[in-house]
Amino acid sequence: MQATDIHAPDYFHKVVDCQWACPAHTPVPEYIRLIAAGRYTDAYMVNWASNVFPGILGRTCDRPCEPACRRGRVEEAQAEKPEPVAICRLKRVTADFKDDDISDRFPRAPQVMNGKRIACVGAGPAALTVARDLAPLGYAVTVFDGDTKAGGMIRSQIPRFRLPEEVIDEETGYVLKLGVEFRGGTRIESLKALLAENYDAVFIGSGAPRGRDLKIPGRDEAAKHIHIGIDWLASVSFGHVTSIAKRVIVLGGGNTAMDCCRSAKRLGGDDVKVIVRSPFDEMKASPWEKEDAAHEAIPILDCLVPIAFLHDGAGRLTGMSFDKVRAERDASGRRRLVSTGAPPQVVECDEVLVAVGQENAFPWIERDAGIDFNEWGMPVLNDVTLQSSRPNVFFGGDAALGPKNIIWAVAQGHAAAISIDKFLHGEDVAKRPAPGVTLVSQKMGIHEWSYDNAVSPDLRHKVPWRDVNAALRNIKVEVELGFDVQAAWKEAQRCLNCDVQTVFNTGQCIECDACVDICPTDCITFTANGDEADLRTRLRAPARHPDQALYVSGDLKTGRVMVKDEDVCLHCGLCAERCPTGAWDMQKFLIDLTQAGRGCRDKNTSTTRAL
């Protein structure tokens, strides 16, 4: 293998698995160390710079960082149930314990505007991220939304028992106070009419506002008792729906279905069931969402395909019939659901919530407005720039590439803001700014580091819950109570500081193997070079995850190379402490992913685009 180029921006970035997995690339170990130091406001601002909504995401994020967390893999051989660091709930800690007034930490609204006007359609996380990035640069940003308050799906589709309204108000307010004009209660009915108002660029972050229906026999006859999940959640959120029948079926296996069933339980549903087509383990809902439903005694019945809505002939829903299926896979691994041939199962109910997916809906975008759509009715976009076929119109969030989650919407908002800024400066939007990378030694003495390198043996700490009986009595009472200061500190200690990298200097190594002897996970090996597949078989500890990199040195004096399996490194620094020549050092890696502004632009371009 070739010697590893540790100066390539992506190499150590991938080693920080949590940050690499986060669509917004939040520097997770950095803010966790700040939490451990009691610097909650600093930790909040580290989050805010990248993910914009720490308090919201600390309660609702889909947590792509946690399955990637190295802690879970390191515990594989030691713990019965290895678990990652509670990254998401530690994010909430930064919001819960930050200073009451942090207004001086945010960018100031610009005193001088640059003369460019941006329209954002929708006030969800993608559009608010665009506004957050562009308003401080002097752009006049106007955000339009049909609802009277900002937040989009954050406000309308996430129940208050998961996300209190005051948290939404606070964090959307931080964005609007940057000089953003918010026109709530203003629904855009025509893109052509909006473009006629001479905005220099338009960002469309209108979400995926249409829930999929289920057109099976009985749907029309019992329509009064069958509701589309996301529409029903919005009605609950805005106080239009305050009760539900006793027996409720929720159809669907995603997070929306979990929100529907838990909401129904709080609004009077005594017998609430979730029924899903797929096997339980293949449901789209996050594992913790399913656990939350189970905690509230809501059963999930799997492998049942709806056949018909049953009714009494006078419009009253009486139940549903289902076909019992099993999952089979063909040679390519593609799944299909096959009927078991058992008689149809009938489940009695009074109301049904249909949460089987969401679709984009753009009836307000005229098909002669210059926006190309594909066969599925989605805008044709560049996946990186999010620019449409009309150069001054950009998309983001669910409206761009289909329904995902809040953190993806934020990431796309950052990307679109870069594109808009470059476009309005007459630059090629496809030319993206390279990230900045720094590596800084953490050495403070011969055997001292500027970070706490002790590895905590603790298993994951559980976030305390409100008593379930009290929680079910009020739909606005938050269920999770969050970590207190002591529990947050203990959970923060589980972080392995994966951004503090072990950096090897080939020229200083005398091949004494002291680092090999002291490494607690046997992740360092000195051996003859070879191709990667061969090297992986000759390591001191088996390399179980081929997607994790091998750090390979240049040739040493004996002809061997140092090979380090990044997968199970604890970043404890013992190799650097033991090394007699200083060939190992612990260096903190920081990647600066440039956002909209001067840093993202071509340094040789100073013109602006006139439209």
User: Do 128 and 202 fall into the same domain?
Assistant: yes
* Per-residue DSSP letter, 266: H
Give the helix/strand (H/E) hosting 181: strand 181-184
* Per-residue DSSP letter, 246: S
**Strand order through the sheet with 436-441:** 436-441, 584-592, 500-504
Residue 16's nearest CA partner among 529, 437, 604 is: 437
Looking at the DSSP bridge assignments, the partners of residue 142 are 119, 181
Is the pLDDT assigned to residue 109 strictly greater than 90?
A: no
User: Do 378 and 245 fall into the same domain?
Assistant: no
How many Å apart are CA 32 and CA 52, to the nearest integer?
Answer: 17
User: Average pLDDT, whole number, for the chain?
Assistant: 93
Residue 164 sits in a domain whose CATH number is 3.50.50.60
Tokens of 282: 């293949």
Helix, strand, coil share (%) of the chain residues, nearest 5: 30, 20, 50
Question: What are the Cα distances from residue 325, in Å, to 1, 160, 290, 302, 333?
Answer: 49, 35, 21, 9, 18
Residue 175's nearest CA partner among 144, 134, 211 is: 134
Looking at the DSSP bridge assignments, the partners of residue 587 are 441, 501
How many Å apart are CA 565 and CA 554, to the nearest integer?
Answer: 16
Confidence grade of residue 603 (pLDDT, cut at 50, 70, 90): low
Residue 90's nearest CA partner among 136, 23, 27, 183 is: 27
- Per-residue pLDDT, 372: 95
Indicate whether 154 belongs to any domain. yes
Residue 214's nearest CA partner among 359, 364, 348 is: 359
First to last CA, the chain: 52
Confidence grade of residue 541 (pLDDT, cut at 50, 70, 90): confident
Q: Are the C-beta atoms of 114 and 138 separated by less than 8 Å?
A: yes
Indicate whether 114 belongs to any domain. yes
Tokens of 255: 């997070």
In 517-545, which positions are buried (b, 16+ CB within 10 angstroms) versus exposed (e)? eebebebbbbeebeeeeebbeebeeebee
Q: Are the C-beta atoms of 514 and 494 separated by less than 8 Å?
A: no
User: Do 292 and 221 fall into the same domain?
Assistant: yes
How many Å apart are CA 446 and CA 577, to the nearest integer?
Answer: 7
How many Å apart are CA 436 and CA 442, to the nearest integer?
Answer: 19
Q: Which amino acid is at 134?
A: L
Confidence grade of residue 527 (pLDDT, cut at 50, 70, 90): very high
User: Do 288 and 375 fall into the same domain?
Assistant: no
Is the pLDDT assigned to residue 28 strictly greater than 60?
A: yes
How many Å apart are CA 90 and CA 27, to the nearest integer?
Answer: 13
Indicate whether 159 belongs to any domain. yes
Indicate whether 381 belongs to any domain. yes
User: Do 233 and 314 fall into the same domain?
Assistant: yes
Indicate whether 262 belongs to any domain. yes
The mean per-residue pLDDT over the stretch 38-42 comes to 97
Is the pLDDT assigned to residue 401 strictly greater than 50?
A: yes
pLDDT in tens, 368-383: 999 999 988 899 999 9
- Per-residue pLDDT, 594: 87
- Per-residue pLDDT, 360: 80
Q: Are the C-beta atoms of 85 and 498 separated by less than 8 Å?
A: no
Q: Write down which residue in 443, 473, 492 finishes a domain.
A: 492
Q: Which amino acid is at 426?
A: G
| Domain that residue 48 falls in | 14-104+459-492
User: Do 221 and 302 fall into the same domain?
Assistant: yes
Indicate whether 29 belongs to any domain. yes
- Per-residue pLDDT, 611: 40
Phi, psi (deg, nearest 5) at residue 551: -90, 115
Percent over 70 (pLDDT), the chain: 98
In 72-104, which positions are buried (b, 16+ CB within 10 angstroms) versus exposed (e)? bbbbeeeeeebebbbbbbbbbbbbbbbeeeeee
pLDDT in tens, 288-331: 999 999 999 999 999 999 999 999 999 999 999 999 999 998 88
pLDDT in tens, 130-144: 999 999 999 999 999
Residue 222's nearest CA partner among 348, 311, 308 is: 311
User: Do 336 and 229 fall into the same domain?
Assistant: yes
Is the pLDDT assigned to residue 606 strictly greater than 50?
A: no
Q: What is the pTM of this model?
A: 0.92
Is the pLDDT assigned to residue 192 strictly greater than 50?
A: yes
Lowest-pLDDT choice from 93-107, 222-236, 443-457: 443-457
User: Do 296 and 321 fall into the same domain?
Assistant: yes
- Per-residue pLDDT, 404: 83
User: Do 304 and 215 fall into the same domain?
Assistant: yes
Residue 93 sits in a domain whose CATH number is 1.10.1060
Looking at the DSSP bridge assignments, the partners of residue 24 are none
Q: Write down which residue in 358, 373, 407 finishes a domain.
A: 358
3-class secondary-structure state, position 131: helix
Q: Write down which residue in 326, 358, 390 finishes a domain.
A: 358
User: Do 229 and 308 fall into the same domain?
Assistant: yes
Indicate whether 566 belongs to any domain. no
The mean per-residue pLDDT over the stretch 33-57 comes to 97
Is the pLDDT assigned to residue 497 strictly greater than 80?
A: yes
Half-sphere exposure (Cβ direction) of 475: Cα atoms closer than 13 Å: 22
Indicate whether 520 belongs to any domain. no
Q: How many domains does the chain have?
A: 3
Is the pLDDT assigned to residue 451 strictly greater than 90?
A: no
User: Do 227 and 333 fall into the same domain?
Assistant: yes
User: Do 244 and 343 fall into the same domain?
Assistant: yes
Is the pLDDT assigned to residue 402 strictly greater than 80?
A: no
Phi, psi (deg, nearest 5) at residue 381: -130, 155
Q: Are the C-beta atoms of 403 and 410 separated by less than 8 Å?
A: no
Looking at the DSSP bridge assignments, the partners of residue 304 are 324
Annotate 24-74 with three-state secondary structure: CCCCHHHHHHHHHCCCHHHHHHHHHHHHCCHHHHHHHCCCCHHHHCHHHHH
- Per-residue pLDDT, 60: 95
Lowest-pLDDT choice from 205-214, 238-247, 388-397, 441-450: 441-450
pLDDT in tens, 70-88: 998 888 877 778 899 999 9
Is the pLDDT assigned to residue 610 strictly greater than 80?
A: no
